[in-house]
Structure 1
Amino acid sequence: MNAQRKKIIMAEINYWKQNKLLPEHYCNFLITLYSQGDLEQEISATDAVLSKEKKKINTRVIFIQFLYILIAFAVLGMSLKLWTFFFTGKMMLLVGLLIMNCLLWLLAGRLLKLLYFTISGAAGLVLIVIFIMRTVI
Structure 2
Amino acid sequence: MRTYLFLLFCATLYGSNFVFGSLLLQEFPAMHLSAYRLAVSSVFLIGYLILSKRMVRLTSRDILYLIPLAIIGMLLHQVSFFTGLQTIDATTASLIVSLSPIFTALLGRFFLKESFTLRMMVGS
- Give yes or no for TM over 0.5: no
Q: Relative contact order (alpha carbons < 8 A, sep ≥ 6): 1 or 2 greater?
A: 2
TM-score (norm 2): 0.28
